Each structure stands twice: as structure tokens, then as C-alpha cells.
Amino acid sequence: MTRYKDTFVRLPKRTEFANKKKADIFISIHANAAPSKKRAPYFRGIEVYYLSPAQTKRAKAAAEKENSVMLKGKDYYTTNAYISLISREKIVESHKLGLDVQHRMLRNARKHYPKVGNGGVKRANFWVLVGAQMPAILVETGYITHKTEGKHLMNSNYQKLLAKGIAEGIERYLKNKR
């Protein structure tokens, strides 16, 4: 863990910490938000991103917003050129990790909350994942701006189900990697 209380840690410091500890994997955990109050009812679901040049318009927009601090003034092509330097193996392993974590989070959450949305496992070039020297994913646990999902995210039982899903996904990934 990079911190135990609600304080901001600069993006490069997060992966720097993981690299210094020689971590086997890197997971950045977040709660998502819709782009506007008007559109909040339409955005829901657990999403997992792994490092790769973004493919969808929405993933590109999310990555652009996340990266604005680190890549200020850099265009899309410069950003993707930099990210393409990341090894293919790390991208493949990050994708596998993302699939395992997503699957287990949904499985656990849906035991008690059957309508939990599946936002999918997606490619994105989030800066927070770029510096990691190990397989890395960014987990969006749901949308705090969605009426129902926001309530779930504040519920400690729901949080425990998601945490258990993340842990089980990690365990499954590491077991299959051997």
C-alpha cells in the first residue's frame, strides 16, 4: 500500500514505491465518476484497465484526464509512442491480471448485489500504470455518481466483497502464472 489515510501521492511516486519494493504486481484502486450529473444514471459498473494504448473513445478520454498532470503539452501520438516502449509481455500479463480480478470482483459482489454492472476489462494508457515494472492494472470499483452504485460503495459489506474479489483475483492470477 502506498498510504493508509486519505492523502494524495503523486502518480510517479506510486509506481516508484512498487518498483523499490520489487512488487510482483501493481494495482491502483479507484471509485469512478460520470462526466456530468446529467449523465450519471448511464454510467455504472466495475471496470478494470490495463496498460496499453487506449482503443475506445471513452478509454482515451479517461486516460487523457488521468494523465493531464504528467503529460501536459504532449499530444496523443507522443503519449502512445512512449507507452509502446513498454514490453509486450507486461501488457499480456497485465491483461490476464485484469481479467482475473474483474471476474472475481463481479462474482463476489453479485452474490449479494446481483445487478452489479460489468464495465469490462479495457486498454488504457493511464500514467499511473506506465512506470510500473510489473504487471499493472487500475480498478474502478464502481461509479460514486450512480444513485444505486454510489450507495453500495459506501456500504462496508459491499466494500469487503470487492476487496475479497480483488484478493481472489490476485491469487488466481499468481497461481496460474506459476
Domain containing residue 122: CATH number: 3.40.630.40
Inside any domain, residue 104:
yes
Inside any domain, residue 123:
yes
**Average pLDDT value for residue range 6-13:** 83
Cell of 29: 484502486
- Across the chain, mean pLDDT equals 86
Name 28's bridge partners.
138
Burial of 45 (0-12, 13-18, 19+ CB in 10 A): middle
Compute the distance between CA of residue 74 and CA of residue 76 in angstroms, rounded to an integer: 7
Number of separate domains in the chain: 1
Q: How many residues does the chain have?
A: 178
Contact call for residues 46 and 137 (beta carbons, < 8 A) = no
Q: What's the pLDDT tens digit per position in 66-110?
A: 555 555 666 766 666 655 554 577 888 999 999 999 999 999 999
User: Which of 12-21, 48-57, 166-175 shows the lowest per-residue confidence on average (mean pLDDT)?
Assistant: 48-57
Inside any domain, residue 147:
yes
Inside any domain, residue 93:
yes
Tell me the whole-structure pTM to 2 decimals: 0.80
Cell of 31: 471509485
Inside any domain, residue 2:
no
Inside any domain, residue 23:
yes
Contact call for residues 119 and 45 (beta carbons, < 8 A) = yes
Inside any domain, residue 115:
yes
Give Cα separations from 16 to 76, 97, 145, 155, 158 (angstroms). 24, 20, 31, 32, 31
Q: Is the pLDDT of residue 56 over 90?
A: no
Q: Which residues contact 132 (CB under 8 A, 6 or more apart)?
A: 15, 18, 19, 26, 51
Compute the distance between CA of residue 108 and CA of residue 106 in angstroms, rounded to an integer: 6
Residue-range definition of the domain harbouring residue 100? 11-177
Determine the distance from the C-alpha atom of residue 33 to the mean position of all C-alpha atoms in its chain, rounded to a whole number.
Answer: 13
Share of the chain above pLDDT 70, in %: 80
Sequence-ordered alpha helix ranges (H) in 10-140: 11-20, 57-67, 76-83, 88-112, 127-130
Inside any domain, residue 6:
no
